[in-house]
A and B are shown apart, each in its own frame.
Chain A
């Protein structure tokens, strides 16, 4: 019995730790591979571009990107397409809903950290409504109310606090990020309560299933965008880096500027 519990505990800790470890290891390996750092160019105009890209570890990041794209081309894309074409939309939506609802505590704490009470209230209410009326998050009932879904993560909160992003990194399996947001990603995982569920009742298995299915579902929704990226850019890596960095900054700016009152709009 004790042995079974010990195995279950190990399995449980793996759930949250795997993703965190993946991010941390990738970060450490970036630091260790100083030879994979791009030296700043001497030409002033080239130096300007170098600074704008904020990607001193570009040689290593490009390798990681290539690994990702090979996995995408030969395994993930065909599997993602099969998932999208064969699994009913209703079921795919349910997977999305469960992921969104069970991740709300992370959004809530990030909103609180950023000092945005209206957003925090929205995520709190969404969690409450979808966990009860939405049957543990399987149905997105909250979207029928005025509590709209939004995204805030610890990386964005740190951005609002004025913490610099640090260099750009491309993490296999996770995608574009930077030093600050990689730490934010790990913190975000730590703020999801299901990662701490007790053993038994199949909750650990449920956690694994919803995490894997959720990531897979998210990925399958992005297949068209990734295909377009490959066909319409000369350097997909640089295109993705620039688009992601701009989007990220725009999300942080929007979070900073969100000073809505906590009372409802009609009040």
Chain B
């Protein structure tokens, strides 16, 4: 009798808990990953430290959680095969900086943020995990990350309905097409862009 009551209470209690925490029941490895990565990112962005310090802390976090090499290859499109191994290596190194700059340039818009996971959908490119970024005194932003691989990594990010890697690919391939497909010209342009960014940061 006691056992039966306990079981009934346990079942009722568990059902009650699950009804209050639907996200718990919907959690997947991809949502757990995004939650953990997003939390670490928000922690760095919200910290009361200098921009340079944040810059230093962000790089290893991005390296660990974002498939920078995969995105870089995708972005270069058909010109990846045209590039020499040295150019590929140099390009990926610069691309990493470009990604980091893209995050740090947005830091001012992402102070005191909190994240709320909305859910996930499996797609051929990976699992799409949507989340809302809540910012004080500013409108909320809905972002969708695409997570794939083992261990899981971010392979794409959608903001305002546009895929980051696809937009970047259009940008780079158009630039290369207009410059006779010369990868070295693009590498030089990226170097300039990074130098300009560093100068405007200081």
Contacts and interface: CB of A to CB of B under 8 A. Distances in A.
Given A231-B197, A237-B174, A247 B162 contact: yes
A250 B128 CA distance: 15
Interface residues of B, number: 29
Contacts of A238: 170-171, 173-175
Given A235-B175, A243-B162, A246-B162, A49 B197 contact: no
A232 B175 contact: no
Contact of A232 (B102, B161, B170): B102
Interface stretch (B9-17, B50-58, B188-196): B188-196
Contact of A242 (B98, B101, B166, B196): B166
Nearest to A236: B171
A234 B190 CA distance: 8
Contacts of A233: 171
A250 B161 contact: yes
A234 B78 contact: no
Nearest to A44: B78
A60 to B, nearest CB: 15
A54 to B, nearest CB: 11
A48 to B, nearest CB: 8
B193 A250 contact: no
DSSP majority for the A interface? helix
Contacts of A242: 162, 166-167, 169-171
Interface string B141-175: 00000000000000000001111001111111111
Contacts of A52: 170
B105 A247 contact: no
Interface in A159-207: none
A239 B190 contact: no
22 contacts: A46-B78, A49-B177, A52-B170, A53-B174, A228-B105, A231-B196, A232-B98, A232-B105, A234-B172, A234-B189, A235-B175, A235-B178, A237-B174, A239-B167, A242-B162, A242-B167, A242-B170, A243-B162, A246-B162, A246-B167, A249-B161, A250-B160
Interface of B: 77-78, 98, 101-102, 105, 160-163, 166-175, 177-178, 186, 189-190, 193, 196-197, 200
